[in-house]
Structure 1
């Protein structure tokens, strides 16, 4: 095995050990980055350069402020009673909170926002009333269903980036890999939601056949989502500015609907310093990976091997999904390799996306995992283990179907 892989494995092991000893996540991940720097660079100017580059990346600031405003919006929806009204309405429509547990995170996942699982988490919490489900199960449900549209939503930055680099159309890529969205929903329902037991039918199901819809709560819950979607997609406004405009703009609307909210608490309660520090340190860690050149070494190690193209792409995507925790991360590294290996090979692009997401769902660097376990106060490694299991099932199903369709006959 190339020495670079020993360094990566040791760095990941260090992160795991520190997290086991309850060291703050951001600091643990930073230590892993410093470990890699110690073996790959040992140049102190590189540490400073990584910080400067991370601070110059507009996407990082957009993420931090977007995450803050998402938390502000969650406080608005919760304190106004809109979340509880939304869940009640869905229970009346579907007759069971189980459906809401799966559908709402998936729907909110259509709005591309890194760390956006923080927005769907309180809805999962509300929908879990009357159902025997622990913090880890709620975390995995929130994480899994939120990411099922990574393969079929044309608004996902990762999909747009992949198609642009590989010179394939979004339509063709969705036709190629869109079925994995259905697979992920079915797996999530069978493995995560269906086994849950209802312990309080009054809270978890519609036992009165009441089909009333709380239109106010429905509008106040979906209005900000639709408004954010339009601002980001139709007008090209950044996610942070869009969310900020929505948070401020909907304050008078809540009052107009007779839903008073504590405006001061909206902005102060959402200022989760620990969470924001963790995010900043993770972003710095990702930049350290670039500065030290370890990402290039991993790519070169695979390119010099005699493995089949499909195995190389799958392995690289999975590794970079683990290391960066971002779809843009593994796509920006792996898809250019695909474009050089086999121009226009949409199967390799699809494979990179599926295996990259699997890696992304198994790493503490993934910001959605960070914000979800923080919200539910869940055990991170139990959550990652559960996500890992269902991701493995997804990979087996995808690999088996791909082999059967393209290589067996």
Structure 2
């Protein structure tokens, strides 16, 4: 019980430090240190855990991939590749409803804490043109900016899931996430986009301009989709596949001071966060006294529905107070790994934990993307949550119902 209390105390440090404007990386590292000190694991055990992050191939792959993606995101922004992607979208798609969805979705593939600030100005401008009020613009930016987190195999959450549960097939999780998102985004469309009146462009598209825009979009998004294809077709480690993206960005750039740009673009704060959360996860894996409490709870629960309730409350709580999805997963995935579930059930509960943690983080007031979006669009947190009310309830309902159906079909 002491270890459980210690874990809660350590995680409660996060909202306090963020409130006092500490950097997210400093906050997560501090939380990990506090958890280590309170865990009573001993120096040798903690030293072994720290070394394991760099020795374990899955953890090492996660750290290296995040490092490379952070460089790519900065380089693509520096050399104007993001602007070229937006130009390509605008040249192909004249319906501004679709543009409002596409721009934050594509920019969301860049793994940057608080990355919604990159798409917020575009959504703010286009949303203003079609008469959307600022709270709705903010919601649209946040919803579509986070799609990639659940379907892009190089997202931090999916990389962390793969590191914590190596036996889980990430692409199978992505398939379940895609179904969940398909239903949820349909709800989002009817809530926030359906009533937008878009004037039809009477000017027909010039075929040359249209084809040129398609070529531009395919070309400038290639650093995003190329490594996914390579990993899928060859099984190469994610970080090796990402090296192809570095070469593509170099070829598409003006090549001026490319090594210096990559060096400046490397987001060491993000790397520190990933390492700290991986260590946090391994510390929790060693906290047998705390995990045995949850083992007992799951034994008493008896049914899958009861397990879902325990997992959901835990995931939402830690996701909400930390405003960071992998922090919640660092607590819940070790619990799941001890249950020795059959493969189908393991994948279903991995999906459930990922989405539950995501929703806790997504609606958290300390969520960096939310904070930056509200600042750009000059919207209050209260107005944002009013706009979110129905969407939040729909998200939880879709998650519970879809997981229940999956358990019924496969368990």
- TM-score strictly above 0.5: yes
Equivalent residue for 2:18?
Answer: 19
Encode CA deviations 1:5-55: one digit per residue, 9 max, x unaligned.
544433332222122122232332334334444444162333323212223
Say whether residues 1:180 and 2:176 are aligned partners: no
How far residue 404 of structure 1 moved from its aligned partner, in angstroms, is: 9.2
Equivalent residue for 1:130?
Answer: 126
Q: Judging changes above 3 Å, is the alpha-carbon distance between structure 1 residues 142 and 308 closer, same or farther for their aligned structure 2 residues? A: same
Shifted more, 233-242 versus 306-315: the winner is: 306-315
Q: How does 1:82-231 map to 2 (within 5 A)?
A: 82-103=81-102, 106=105, 115=111, 122=118, 126=122, 128-132=124-128, 137=139, 140-149=142-151, 179-190=179-190, 193-194=192-193, 210=205, 212-213=209-210, 214-231=213-230
SS in 2 for 1:131: helix
Residues 162, 331 of structure 1: 8 Å contact kept: yes
Equivalent residue for 2:131?
Answer: none
How far residue 334 of structure 1 moved from its aligned partner, in angstroms, is: 2.0
Structure 1 residue runs of 5 or longer lacking an equivalent are: none
Determine the C-alpha separation between the residues in 2 that align with 1:84 and 1:311: 48
SS in 1 for 2:234: coil
Shifted more, 328-337 versus 93-102: the winner is: 328-337
How far residue 118 of structure 1 moved from its aligned partner, in angstroms, is: 7.9
Shifted more, 121-130 versus 210-219: the winner is: 121-130
Residues 71, 265 of structure 2: 8 Å contact kept: yes
Equivalent residue for 2:322?
Answer: none
SS in 2 for 1:354: helix
Residues 64, 276 of structure 1: 8 Å contact kept: yes
Determine the C-alpha separation between the residues in 2 that align with 1:314 and 1:244: 41
Determine the C-alpha separation between the residues in 2 that align with 1:248 and 1:56: 27
Determine the C-alpha separation between the residues in 1 that align with 2:261 and 2:225: 20
Among 279, 285, 300, the residue aligned to 2:295: 300
Residues 77, 221 of structure 1: 8 Å contact kept: no
CA RMSD of aligned residues (A): 4.9
Residues 69, 243 of structure 1: 8 Å contact kept: yes
Say whether residues 1:310 and 2:312 are aligned partners: no
Determine the C-alpha separation between the residues in 1 that align with 2:354 and 2:399: 13
Q: How does 1:236-315 map to 2 (within 5 A)?
A: 236-251=235-250, 253-254=251-252, 262-293=257-288, 296-306=291-301, 308-315=303-310
How far residue 278 of structure 1 moved from its aligned partner, in angstroms, is: 3.1
Equivalent residue for 2:355?
Answer: 357
Residues 75, 265 of structure 2: 8 Å contact kept: no
Q: Judging changes above 3 Å, is the alpha-carbon distance between structure 1 residues 160 and 229 closer, same or farther for their aligned structure 2 residues? A: same
Encode CA deviations 1:67-99: one digit per residue, 9 max, x unaligned.
232233334433443322322332343324442
Equivalent residue for 1:44?
Answer: 43
Determine the C-alpha separation between the residues in 2 that align with 1:328 and 1:17: 19
Encode CA deviations 1:181-209: one digit per residue, 9 max, x unaligned.
31122234345x539989xx99xx96865
SS in 1 for 2:360: coil
How far residue 270 of structure 1 moved from its aligned partner, in angstroms, is: 0.4
Question: How many residues are matched?
Answer: 379
Equivalent residue for 2:71?
Answer: 72
How far residue 363 of structure 1 moved from its aligned partner, in angstroms, is: 3.8
Residues 313, 352 of structure 1: 8 Å contact kept: no
Determine the C-alpha separation between the residues in 2 that align with 1:161 and 1:64: 10
How far residue 267 of structure 1 moved from its aligned partner, in angstroms, is: 1.0
Residues 177, 350 of structure 1: 8 Å contact kept: no
TM-score for the superposition, normalised by structure 1 = 0.69
Structure 2 residue runs of 5 or longer lacking an equivalent are: 129-133, 320-325
Equivalent residue for 1:394?
Answer: 395
Determine the C-alpha separation between the residues in 1 that align with 2:150 and 2:160: 13
